[in-house]
Amino acid sequence: ALLISDRVAVMSTGKVVQLGPPREIYLQPSTLFVASFIGDNNLLPAMVEETRPDGSLLARLPGGQALIAHAAPGQKLSHGEACTVSLRPQDVDLKEGGSGGLEGVLEDIQFLGNTIKMYFSLGEGKPVVVTLPGRHDVTIPTVGSKCTLHPSAHAVTAFEGVVSQ
């Protein structure tokens, strides 16, 4: 539908929950349902630790790690509120070792030809998936390596409500 349409309607329980161009729906889902329905996504339960004047927020994950996110369009999140953080697998840069991002341990690697899919444990909850291009120049860490995941600044979105693990 995303390929052949200039507008897409996403429906849930018989109601349109988002209507717009495919790129907008993919990059700016308006609800947790749309984020989970359109494309691959890491959906992580979190708590809003801090809201900032620029509209961003600091979201604390169950294992204690934190990341900066922005609230989904039309959603207001407050300090102390439970939320779900959305992070697409292709929007993460990876560094073996290091600091300044989410610290994880590489649990599994799947080579899929043009894509490499990696699964990282952050300590609690389901693994975070990171995808990299399957090119010759891409360095692949070994299973068991400690790595730092650096989400793209624009790519982390927080939604009202908590996704079940």
Q: pLDDT 10s digit of each residue in the chain, 165 long?
A: 666 779 999 999 999 999 999 999 999 999 999 999 999 999 999 999 999 988 899 999 998 999 999 999 889 999 999 999 999 999 999 988 777 789 999 999 999 999 999 999 998 888 999 999 988 888 899 999 999 999 987 899 999 988 765
Q: Which CATH class for the 40-160 domain?
A: mainly beta
Res 139: pLDDT: 86
Res 161: pLDDT: 87
Res 1: pLDDT: 61
Res 126: pLDDT: 87
Question: Which residues lie below 8 Å from residue 134, measured CB to CB, with a gap of 6+?
Answer: 111, 112, 113, 114, 115, 116
pTM score, whole prediction: 0.88
Res 99: pLDDT: 72
Res 2: pLDDT: 65
Kindly report the length of the chain. Answer: 165
Domain ranges of the chain: 1-39, 40-160
